[in-house]
Structure 1
Amino acid sequence: MANIQIGFHIDGDVWEPEQITQVEDHGFDILTTGEHILFFRPILDTVTVLAYAAAVTKKIKLLPSTLILPLRHPTMMAKELTSIDILSKGRLIASVGIGGDYPREFEACGVPMNERGVRANEGIEIMRKYWSGERFDYDGRIFQLKDVDMLPPPHQTGGPPLWVCGRSDPAMKRAAKYGNGWQPYMYTADQVAESITKVKDFAADIGRELDDDFAFTTFMYVSMHDDAQEARNRAIEQLSYRFNMPFEKIVDKYCAYGPADKIIESLSEYVAAGTNHIIVALVMPEEERMDYVAKFAEEILPALQRMQTV
């Protein structure tokens, strides 16, 4: 058994260097940021934000949550991630998904939506080959490469751990075949448990034994307030904006809210389901964000980090 790792998500928003440093100082294990190229609300480029964070932190792990891999050429993606891994001295975790919830960005990048899966699979294979440090050829359906290699190699031998994000069976199969972790998005605890079983089964089907440190991750929005109803209302308002859709009917499934003990109880259900990494995104006013980070770190974070995987 091992203790749960806790990540803090800054959601592609602008954070000052000292604010990012405080997240690390509060004891979070991972810093994550979001990804969209075009979107209906402002959001920064995740690679740029992680490089920025790498420069002002020393020990916290860095995670894109989540790179939309089909929108990027894997040669460029491998180079950018290698650079962050080197500059952070091996603190990078790569998380990739296929996207698709905002088709306009696929149109803008000239990428057909129906190629998302194959582009992701080939992209992962190509990045892994670059990170091996060897010269190689690649003849795929989308990408063809001849006698290529990439120097310098990543700080981490073989490249950063690679998590696969998604919600579907094909994404779970991708995690089972290529990944060092599975990162479902907007799942209930029951869905997490079911998906963990599926990933393990898919791995067994291809003869792969998952490592003991394979990451099974939960991403969760958290709204803190001593009045649970007020916390719920704030979550509905913020998440309706962030997802550009009504959230009142689904907020109870995808957000832990209320006072500290209620939030801890909600998140513990995911640990019981098999989660060993929890990424939290706080619902909070921008002007009070560091007060909220400190409150979470004082009242909730220690209890989560004391939990152990089942």
Structure 2
Amino acid sequence: MQYGFGLPVRGPLATHDGIVTMARHGERLGFTSATIADHIVFPTAVASQYPYDASGKHPSTGDAIEPLSLMAFVAGATSRLRFVTSVLILPHRNPVLAAKMIATIDVLSKGRVTLGVGVGWMREEFAALGAPDFDRRGAVSDEYLAIYKKLWSPGPVEHHGTYYSFGPVRCEPLPVQRPHPPIWVGGHSKAALRRTARHADGWHPLGTVATAELRPPAFSVMLDDLKRMTEAAGRDYGQITIAYVARLHETKTAIDAPDRMPFSGSAAQVLEDVETYRRLGVSHLSFDFRTGELPSTLQRMDWFASEIMPHTP
């Protein structure tokens, strides 16, 4: 099992010192990757429902560090840690410029980029950015992925699509990773599973209180669906990375409750959950260790590195 942790993009830890300290500490502890969330602006009035919290409200009050900028910055402060956009909202950025920026970071980091992607959930943010039609964001995202892959191939290349077109161009240097940085699709809808099966190297769902369908029994069914879709697309399911982002709620004593959330409770219970998801096919688990204060955040990372990581295959 490989493990990741979330880097802060908002709040009191989202500073030069907070980000660098967490990244270097995670690298020393043996974490494989750091995830980086994506928002650009938060309109003051948001009616869109946030799908990853039972309240339907996003926790931010408006602060957000741009993820590609953060990735480039922290790549220069580390040497082994991989960086996962978790997830980059594809319609938010011009696809040619975004492909160039991602390739540049991959080159300068010596191949440490994993591109987690999504279609977005906040209609109001799309409007503020002048992004493509929110209601067509799935089709736009599929086309943008196709553009990325073209631009990460030896040129000249061109594209004439429904939502974007350009004539023959060269876009070099190409990414270090070939044929391109790994692409993981976020979300757990049927559309996200289809996008994974057709276009991606991995599936990257987020499990929270609001996503009860990602508990083991239902999660297993979704993996069966993904396998069928991948094989129907003529691809090898065995080559798809299952990279799960989970909420961690560790306690000193075991939680004795029939509805205990996965990855909550004692170290023994967390280890049991890790093994359950490993057997289902998960090979990469990422957790958010932030507490609002740097010392306690680092302590939680230390706890996980000593109590969980050495005891899992």
Interval of TM-score (by shorter of Structure 1 and Structure 2): 0.7 to 0.9
Does 2:112 match 1:91? Answer: yes
* Corresponding residue to 1:108 among 122, 125, 128: 128
Does 2:246 match 1:220? Answer: yes
Could you tell me whether the CA contact under 8 Å between 2:184 and 2:200 is conserved in 1? yes
Paired AA for residue 276 in structure 1: S
SS at match of 1:294: helix
Where do residues 42-81 of structure 1 align in structure 2 (5 Å cutoff)? 42-81=63-102
CA separation of 1:228/1:108 partners in 2, compared to 1, >3 Å: closer, same or farther?
A: farther
Per the alignment, residue 8 of structure 1 pairs with 5
Could you tell me whether the CA contact under 8 Å between 2:250 and 2:266 is conserved in 1? yes
In 2, the alpha carbon distance for the partners of 1:282 and 1:34 equals 14
In 1, the alpha carbon distance for the partners of 2:32 and 2:127 equals 36
Per the alignment, residue 227 of structure 2 pairs with 200
Per the alignment, residue 288 of structure 2 pairs with 281
Per the alignment, residue 215 of structure 2 pairs with 188
Paired AA for residue 32 in structure 2: D
Q: Quote the offset at 1:25 in angstroms.
A: 0.4
Could you tell me whether the CA contact under 8 Å between 2:114 and 2:182 is conserved in 1? yes
Could you tell me whether the CA contact under 8 Å between 1:184 and 1:192 is conserved in 2? no
Per the alignment, residue 163 of structure 2 pairs with 142
CA deviation profile, 1:43-71 (whole Å, cap 9, x unmatched):
32111111122111111211111101111
Does 2:37 match 1:34? Answer: yes
Per the alignment, residue 48 of structure 2 pairs with none
Paired AA for residue 54 in structure 1: A
CA deviation profile, 1:81-139 (whole Å, cap 9, x unmatched):
10110111011111101011x22211111222112101110010000000012212211
Per the alignment, residue 303 of structure 2 pairs with 295
Q: Quote the offset at 1:28 in angstroms.
A: 0.5
Per the alignment, residue 244 of structure 1 pairs with none
In 1, the alpha carbon distance for the partners of 2:182 and 2:245 equals 18
CA deviation profile, 1:220-274 (whole Å, cap 9, x unmatched):
0112220456xx9xxxxxxxxxxxxxxxxxx944x52222111111232211222
SS at match of 1:263: helix
In 1, the alpha carbon distance for the partners of 2:263 and 2:232 equals 35
TM-score, structure 2 normalization: 0.84
In 1, the alpha carbon distance for the partners of 2:158 and 2:182 equals 23
In 2, the alpha carbon distance for the partners of 1:77 and 1:27 equals 30
Could you tell me whether the CA contact under 8 Å between 2:7 and 2:19 is conserved in 1? no
Paired AA for residue 52 in structure 1: F
> Gaps (5+ residues) in structure 2?
43-59, 208-213
Does 2:298 match 1:272? Answer: no
Q: Quote the offset at 1:19 in angstroms.
A: 2.7
In 2, the alpha carbon distance for the partners of 1:162 and 1:23 equals 23
Could you tell me whether the CA contact under 8 Å between 1:34 and 1:64 is conserved in 2? yes
CA deviation profile, 1:147-185 (whole Å, cap 9, x unmatched):
122011111122201111111111111111110111122
Paired AA for residue 250 in structure 2: M
Per the alignment, residue 175 of structure 1 pairs with 196
In 2, the alpha carbon distance for the partners of 1:129 and 1:10 equals 30
Per the alignment, residue 156 of structure 1 pairs with 177
Q: Quote the offset at 1:283 in angstroms.
A: 5.2
Could you tell me whether the CA contact under 8 Å between 2:8 and 2:19 is conserved in 1? no
> What fraction of aligned residue pairs are identical, expressed as a percent?
27
Q: Quote the offset at 1:213 in angstroms.
A: 4.0
Q: Quote the offset at 1:289 in angstroms.
A: 1.0
* Corresponding residue to 1:260 among 267, 283, 290: 267
Does 2:28 match 1:20? Answer: no
TM-score, structure 1 normalization: 0.84
Higher helix proportion: 1
Matched length: 280
SS at match of 1:302: helix
In 1, the alpha carbon distance for the partners of 2:272 and 2:196 equals 28
SS at match of 2:245: strand
